[in-house]
Amino acid sequence: MTNNLFLNYITWNIDSDIFVIPIIEHPIRWYGICWLLGIVLCYRILWSIFKKEGRPIEFLDQLTIYIVLGTVIGARLGHVLFYDPGYYLHNPLKIFALWEGGLASHGAGMGILIAIYLFAKKQQLSFLWVADRIALVVPVAGACIRLGNLMNSEMIGTPSNLPWAFVFSHIDTVPRHPAQLYEAIFCILLFLLLYGLWKNNQLRSRNGNYFALLLILLFSFRFLDEFMKINQEHFEDSLFINMGQLLSIPFIIIGIGIFLLNQFKTSTQQLHS
């Protein structure tokens, strides 16, 4: 029976470690490489955007530091506060043990927003203008991170009998939705959409349009994709919707609010022109 499962579905048995550094015996993992790839790609795309818009690259270098710190700190604190506060309350030093895993994308989103606010305030720039530029590349980082989750065989999906179901052999022999891959593919498509709109000078009439569209589409998909994932923590089993879905709702509402407000401002301006 097990052999039939492995024959009918995609067997995923990738080792999360690429290799181990001799002497110090420290592993280099696919997840870390995916994070690094995401940072490099985002920087390169933003470099091109800043060049085309005539913005100083020095701004980008500083912004990158803000965003990376905001992402890592926010993602870690998000996991600590949203998913396992009791454990970390009794083991506070474990909060700093990033190598043991535990990063929450919604926490990363909040950290990025704080980083954008601090950077925009320091440089006396519009928060929404900066948020728009970051919104263009967030899907790229999201795709890389979800591919990292796939390489780690984590955030696995619910059981499925679809022909593209994955058997995560490091976990069990049950065919499952490759929910990480679904989100990675969606992020790539979302990047192409947002970048295409920016390149064709669409939605630039008001600061915040790209940011709003990102929040609406990314977190709406995240909400739906959660139905195809197993819950990360046991307490979520007693909830009507899981923590990932619950945390997605405010982002969607904020996105809709910004987009509708911008449409109202545009309509009002046209009436008075």
60-84 burial, b at 16+ Cβ within 10 Å, e below that, comes to beebbebbbebbbbbbbbbbbebbb
According to DSSP, residue 207 is labeled T
Spell out the per-residue pLDDT of the chain, length 273, in tens.
444 545 578 999 999 888 888 877 778 889 999 999 999 999 999 999 999 998 888 889 999 999 999 999 999 998 888 888 888 888 888 888 777 777 888 889 999 999 999 999 999 999 999 999 999 999 999 999 999 999 999 989 999 999 999 999 999 999 999 999 999 999 999 999 999 999 998 887 789 999 999 999 999 999 999 999 988 767 667 677 888 899 999 999 999 999 999 988 877 776 766
Beta strands in the chain (DSSP E): 10-12, 17-21, 26-29, 166-168, 175-176
Tally of CB atoms within 10 A around 16:
15
